[in-house]
Each structure stands twice: as C-alpha cells, then as structure tokens.
Amino acid sequence: MSLNEVLNTMLVLLAAFAAGASIAVMGNSVGRRTGRDKLSLLGMRPRHTATLITGLTGGTIATITLLVSLALSGQMAILQGQYGDVQRRLEALTGEYELMRRRGRLVLPSRTVLAIEPVESGLSEDRRQALLDSVLGHAEARVRQAYYQALTDLPTPPLEPAGKLVAVDPRQLRSTLEALREARTPQAVEVQVTENAWLEGNRMAPVPVLLQAVSLFRVYRAGDLVARLRVEARDPNLLGRLMTFVYEDVPKAARAAHMPVNQVSGRIEVRVGGRTALDWSSRLFRALESASGEVEIQACASRDTPSLGRLDLILVVPELGLRIPES
C-alpha cells in the first residue's frame, strides 16, 4: 500500500469506529426510553419490546452507515472482499510484464497486415502464382524493415537473418489459389501476422503469417466525383489550399463514402495519376495563370476503385477544359 492508501484506510476505520460508538449510544437511549414508557409491540412485554426496538435501531443505523461508507470510499470496497481480485489482477499483469521482459522486444503485434494487393479478373494460373509471390515479397520486406528498426538502439550491430523472416504454410498457398480461381467477386490477397513477433537479443524467429483471399467491394466507378473545391486563381494561399484539398479533404470524403483505410499504412492513400505532388501542382499552377476569377477543381476517380484504401485521382478544371493527368 502507498502512503495515500494507508491514510485513506485509517480514515475509513476511524469513521467506522465513530459510527459504531454512535450506534451504541443511540441504541441504548432508544431502548431505555421504550422500557420507561412501557410500550408494547405485537403483544410482547415492555422489556422484550425495548430489546427488539434497540436491536432494530442498531441494525438500521449500521446498514445505513455501511452503505454511505461504500458510496464515499473505494477503500471500503477493498476492505469488503475485493482485495483478492485486485491482487490476482496485479499478479497477472506482473506475470505478463516479466514474460515480455524475458521475451525481448515486440517487433510486430498479431493481426498486423503486412501486405494487401488486388487481383485482376481473368488472370492465368501462372499470373496468380506470381502475384502471391509478389505479395509475400512485400510482406518479407515489411518484416525486415520492422526487424532492423527494432535493432537501431541496441549496442551490438544487427545480424543479417539467415533465411526468410516470413513463414507461410504451403497449404495456405494452395487454398488461396483455389479461392481466387473460384471467386465470383473482386478479390485481394492479404498477408497478416498471426501472433506477436518478438526480438530476442538481436535475433528474431520467422514470423508466422496468414495468407488469404479477401473479398472487395467497389467504392467508386471510373470518373465518379469524389470532392470539389472552388478557388480564386490569384489566391496567394492557393498551394496550401490545394494540398489540403487533395490530401485531407479528399480522404475525408472517401471515408464518408465508406471507403476503409489502407490496412498496411493505416490511412487512405491518394495519388494524382501516379505523379508526385510537385508534378501535378506545377501543371495546375501554370494552367491557372490564364484564368480569371473563381474556378472549380474537381477530384474524380481515375478508375474503378476497390475497398483497399488507395485512391487514384484525376483533377478536372471544367472552366479551363483541363485534366491532370491527361487521359
């Protein structure tokens, strides 16, 4: 117990002592008054009636005092029998901490999605197998990156893993290929960590993963409007407004359209035709130099967009007949 808990417990005990003393005095006073007035209840003799009233008065006051104490003090709950539960919980947490300390450093928690890629319809068996190999390669790179990041502040240099850090059951490869072959709806291949991956010293055992096919739904059709923005062509804050529009307002609108975040990056990834921000913003600025007054910029989906949290855009300025990138 901490000093604060000891003081709280002492105050509760003092309150209980004062309540008990008050109960004894009040009960004795009520009993004497009942006997002196020779009151009778239920046909009992006055002496027995006084004894009954004294007992009922003491029990009622004790019950009320206990309820008030429980309402005002968390320490009373412990004193009333919860100490054992608290102690067991503390021992469990201590055991988990000791296990973590012995195991080493947590590199990747379970259920982490390492890679996820859509599958085009009509792929041949060889192309599907190549896609699975590519997705597993991305997962391997992600695990190695997490492994080296966990070693950055260790005194000894990192050891190059002897083999692959991703361990997948060959039966999952066969079942995933079969699921893709028989699928009638859009699919993606997902690689997910099945249990916590620990760094023991400067080594890490292969990470068991789950390879599976997951169903997708279409969020946008090619050409669908995602969001729009009206700007003044000569606005001195135009660049900041454009960046906020593309990388904040557009993802917010996509979330409102029930697009989930990308499970690998944890956000909705936005690209303008696969170009860098410098490329598309420079072209847009040059085009706006010839504009006057206010114009509208529309962000549209450049292709059918599945629920992967990745959104390819075309920026359209109807007043200028401009599309970035050009179709």
- pLDDT, one tens digit per residue, over 177-236 is 999 999 888 999 999 999 998 887 777 889 999 999 999 999 999 999 999 999 998 888
Residue of higher predicted confidence among 193 and 100: 193
CA-closest candidate to residue 50, choices 26, 25, 24, 32: 32
Number of H helices, E strands in the chain: 9, 13
Residues 158, 159, 160, CA angle at the centre, nearest 5°? Answer: 115
Domain range list for the chain: 3-101, 105-216, 220-324
Q: Which residue has the tokens 């040059």?
A: 286
Q: Is the Cβ–Cβ distance between 284 and 315 less than 8 Å?
A: yes
pLDDT computed for residue 200 by the predictor: 77
- Closest C-alpha among 234, 248, 228, 235 to residue 314: 228
Query: Using an 8 Å Cβ cutoff, are 42 and 69 in contact?
Result: no
pLDDT of residue 91: 74
Residues 6+ positions from 146 with CB-CB distance below 8 Å: 107, 108, 197
Q: What is the DSSP pairing of strand 294-301 with strand 225-232?
A: antiparallel
pTM above 0.95, yes or no: no
Q: How many CB atoms lie within 10 A of CB 172?
A: 15
Indicate the length of the chain as a whole number. Answer: 327
Q: Tell me the per-residue pLDDT of 152-166, one tens digit each, with 9 for 90 and over.
A: 766 666 667 778 999
Mean confidence (pLDDT) of the chain = 82
Residue 89, pLDDT score: 76
Segment 60-67 shows an average pLDDT of 69
**pLDDT at position 135:** 96
pLDDT of res. 60: 72
**Is residue 136 over pLDDT 60?**
yes
Q: What angle do CA 321, 326, 327 make, to 5 degrees?
A: 105
pLDDT tens digits, 257-283: 999 999 998 999 999 988 788 889 888
